[in-house]
Structures are given as structure tokens and as C-alpha cells.
């Protein structure tokens, strides 16, 4: 049963299919000590920033941890669909990466680039040249909004849905999409472990 005194975990994603996968992973987690909110923002940085800002106006989420998740495009050589990318731009990145690795996931820790559109072809190479290892449209905006609202426990973990070698036209239509969906569904238990470990001194 949820402990009403424990801080909530807000898991933020952009797409309906991402929310369905995350919620499926949350079902049956009766051992969780804190409430979990799965927030869908819609696609694109503007929608993401606005939705997170509005959600965090709720007094019930004042002490919440915010974890952005969903899909991303891999940029680095050797990445495979289903790998997990943890953005290294937050203070809790290494602790989240460690928890995900302990859960058996293949994890890459590094810069997560921001784009306002789906990146393909030569754009991937250009972003890779900046040092980024993956790219998505919402994580940076979600993180900015949470930081602006004073969130202290914050991280981003995205699942690689395609790579330069296997570009995906539509999530769920190819084997790589199904692989990423399966991994995303399996992330919630690790997210909750991370949340518990970082919430020990939240008060």
C-alpha cells in the first residue's frame, strides 16, 4: 500500500504508447512505498514544458521526484534497440544508471541531445559530433520545467527505439519498436528502486 507521507514519483513521457507501457509496468506494484504518477505531455518540447509546469503546480507534488522517460534515437556506435540512455546532465544520473544496470538493462550514460523534430540521416551524425549519444524531443524541456519548479530529485532515462543502422518509421511497426516497448514496460520497478533510494532523506 502507498505511504501517503512518502514523496510521489512523477514519471513523465510524451506519447500515448509510452504511457501505456509505463502504466503496464506499474500495475501490480503493491510493494511500492510511494504513489506513482505517469504524466503524458504530448509530443514536442513546448507541450512537454507546459504540461510538466502545470502538473507541478499541484501542492500534492511539492516534494515529488521527476523522472522523464520514453523513447529516443540512438546516436552512438554499438547501440541497440532496447538499450537505455541515462542523461548525464542531472545530479542523480549515476545513481539511476547503477540501479538500471543492477536490474539487468544495458545502460549508456551521456549527453542526451534536444530536437524539435524527428532526427534522421545526416542529422544524426551532426548531433553525434557534438558528443551526444542519443536524441529526443522532450527530455530537455521536461527537465527545464522541473528545475524551474524547484524539483531536487530529477533524472532522465530513455529507451533506444532505433539507431543509425535501423531507422524506425513508426513505433510498434517493426521489431525494434516492439523491443523498445518491452524494455520500457520493464523499467518501472527499477525506477521505483531509484526513487526509494533517493528519497531516504527527502524530508
For residue 111, is it within any domain? yes
What is the distance between the terminal CA atoms of the chain, rounded to a whole angstrom?
20
What's the gap between Cα 145 and its chain centre? 14
Residue 17 has pLDDT above 60, yes or no: yes
Which residues lie below 8 Å from residue 36, measured CB to CB, with a gap of 6+?
8, 9, 11, 26, 29, 188, 192
pLDDT at 30: 47
Give a yes or no: residue 3 inside a domain: no
Calpha distance 77→32 (Å, rounded) = 37
Run of H or E including 147: helix 139-148
Residue 185: partners with Cβ closer than 8 Å, 6 or more residues away = 21, 22, 24, 25
Any domain includes 34: yes
**Closest listed residue to residue 136, CA positions, set 114, 111, 107, 104:** 114
Angle subtended at Cα 73 by Cα 66 and Cα 150, rounded to the nearest 5 degrees:
20
Which range of residues forms the domain containing residue 87? Answer: 9-198
Is residue 161 within 8 Å of residue 171, measured between CB atoms? yes
- pLDDT tens digits, one per residue of 85-121: 999 999 999 999 999 999 999 999 999 999 988 887 7
When the pLDDT of each residue in the chain is averaged and rounded to a whole number, the result is 88
Cα dist. 34→22, 31, 81 in Å? Answer: 16, 9, 30
Q: Indicate whether 4 belongs to any domain.
A: no
Cell 502538473 belongs to residue: 55
**Which CATH number goes with the domain that contains 160?**
3.40.50.1580
* Number of domains the chain contains: 1
15 located within any domain: yes
122-147 tens-digit pLDDT: 888 899 999 999 999 999 999 999 99
Note whether residue 203 is domain-resident: no
Amino acid at each position: 500500500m502507498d505511504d501517503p507521507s512518502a514523496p510521489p514519483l512523477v514519471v513523465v513521457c510524451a506519447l500515448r504508447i509510452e504511457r501505456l507501457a509505463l502504466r503496464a509496468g506499474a500495475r501490480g506494484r503493491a510493494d511500492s512505498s510511494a504513489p506513482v504518477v505517469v504524466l503524458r505531455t504530448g509530443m514536442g518540447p513546448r507541450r512537454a514544458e507546459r504540461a510538466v509546469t502545470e502538473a507541478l503546480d499541484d501542492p500534492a507534488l511539492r516534494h515529488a521526484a521527476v523522472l522523464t522517460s520514453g523513447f529516443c534515437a540512438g546516436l552512438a556506435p554499438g547501440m541497440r534497440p532496447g538499450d537505455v540512455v541515462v542523461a548525464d546532465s542531472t545530479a542523480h544520473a549515476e545513481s539511476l544508471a547503477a540501479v538500471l544496470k543492477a536490474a539487468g538493462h544495458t545502460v549508456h550514460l551521456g549527453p542526451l541531445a534536444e530536437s524539435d523534430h524527428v532526427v534522421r540521416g545526416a542529422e544524426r551524425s551532426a548531433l553525434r559530433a557534438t558528443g551526444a549519444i542519443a536524441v529526443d524531443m522532450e527530455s530537455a524541456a521536461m527537465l527545464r520545467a522541473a528545475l524551474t519548479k524547484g524539483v531536487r530529485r530529477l533524472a532522465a532515462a530513455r529507451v533506444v527505439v532505433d539507431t543509425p543502422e535501423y531507422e524506425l518509421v513508426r513505433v510498434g511497426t517493426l521489431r525494434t519498436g516492439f523491443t523498445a516497448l518491452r524494455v520500457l514496460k520493464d523499467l518501472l520497478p527499477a525506477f521505483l528502486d531509484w526513487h526509494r533510494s533517493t528519497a531516504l532523506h527527502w524530508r
